[in-house]
Homo-oligomer: A and B are copies of this chain.
Amino acid sequence: MINLDHISAAPLLPEVKEVMIDAINSDLHNPSSQHQAGEAAAERVEAARESVRQLIGAGGGKEIVFTSGGTESVNHAIKGVALASRNGGNHIVTTNIEHNAVIRSLKRLSGFNFKVTSLPVDETGRVNPDDVAKAITDKTLLVSVMHSNNETGTIQPIKEIGAITRERKVLFHSDAVDSVGIVPVDVDDLNVDLLSFGSNRYYGPHGVGGLYIRKGTRIFPLLEGGVQEHNKRGGTENVIGIIGMGKAAELAARDMDTRMTHLLALKNYILAHLPEYIDEYLINTNLEYSLPDLLNVSLKYIEGESVMLMLDGDGVAVSTKSACATGSLRASHVLMSLGLSHADAQGTIVISWGIGNTASEMDRFFASLAESVKMLRDMSPLYKNHSNMS
């Protein structure tokens, strides 16, 4: 299989597999236990925390909370800050293109007397920092804007928004699940108070992630119980997963530049050669501000899901939208926010590659895509009508 669906799942790196298998075979004890066996496990967890800390430029390990992944991190950040708010703050500012973890957390809060302002993005998929500044009121307790979008790869002006929230003394959370480990993300440079991230995005395991909480941030835990994670998240740690995440973070930091060069070369290869294989498509990714490893393409007159299934038959995996939204028949809220028609939004495939992919794999993908698109358009009444019109 050619994995052009890295955004849903990136393969574990050999070095990550190695440390996870070693952890499995090491019979590590509970990191909270006070005997030597417990301390040995705790040391492994703390070493992983240090690698993660370095990856995002956090000031100290106590600012990093290990979670069960990006969704927990986002829920923790948003619900935790909202419920801990004092002085009547009940207003949150966000954008129309956030991941469902943000949208649903905010929707839940809006059932409990919190007010949400959701900002539009322009046709390139970016929010205007001035809109954020205007939306902030004296009741605003939190601004939550994603670093990059999981469907389009478009990167938001987080640093500019962070300067505004810093000046206005409002907490700022960024869902950076799809950026951390792929492009440089530094919590101080970005002026964020909270940052959500995962592990699989940079070739670590699924089901483990982290939340950066700037020292001094007032927040309630989401998972309450034991005193783990500096009393910020109860529950015995996913030690094996954390060890894998730590190794993945270490390698992501070390190899980021060379990886970005490779990923960007493939992006340019796709952009250069796609026109040789298909016509009548839209690129929904902002090419000036975006991730190096993802393109969102709308294929006119046909269904993205049909294309995905035909490519799958040819051994090429792509996605049509967030894997988290699988089963939902609705068009992507992200693409609708860009102003796409419902038909164009449904005609979308998301192509996301990794450090193991090659240009010759892209050629195979192009050929398969061209054939799929032709076959589907030949069957498409929409395409026939269009052809008759022109």
Contacts and interface: CB of A to CB of B under 8 A. Distances in A.
Interface stretch (A126-134, A238-246, A379-387): A238-246
Contacts of A17: 24-25
B228 A317 contact: no
Contact of A323 (B32, B71, B222, B309): B32
A248 B238 CA distance: 16
Number of identical protomers: 2
A225 B206 CA distance: 15
A35 B308 contact: yes
A74 interface: yes
Interface stretch (A7-15, A56-64, A337-345): A7-15
A30 B235 contact: no
Contact of A34 (B37, B69, B236, B326): B326
B226 A322 contact: yes
B206 A237 contact: yes
B68 A238 contact: yes
A172 to B, nearest CB: 20
Interface in A36-51: 36-38, 41
Interface in A319-370: 319-320, 322-328
A207 to B, nearest CB: 2
A256 interface: no
A374 interface: no
A262 interface: no
A226 B12 contact: no
A324 B227 contact: yes
A205 B235 CA distance: 13
A286 interface: no
Contact of A225 (B41, B104, B222, B223): B104
A325 B9 contact: no
A145 interface: no
B32 A324 contact: yes
A24 B20 contact: yes
B75 A237 contact: no
A183 to B, nearest CB: 21
Contacts of A71: 223-226, 234-236
Contact of A226 (B27, B105, B308, B325): B325
A1 B29 CA distance: 11
Given A3-B37, A35-B308, A207-B241, 5 more contacts: A5-B33, A5-B37, A35-B311, A71-B226, A227-B328
9 contacts: A8-B33, A8-B38, A20-B240, A34-B309, A71-B223, A83-B112, A100-B224, A207-B241, A241-B241
Which 7 A/B pairs are nearest by Cβ-Cβ distance? Answer: A207-B238, A226-B324, A101-B225, A71-B235, A68-B68, A104-B224, A8-B30
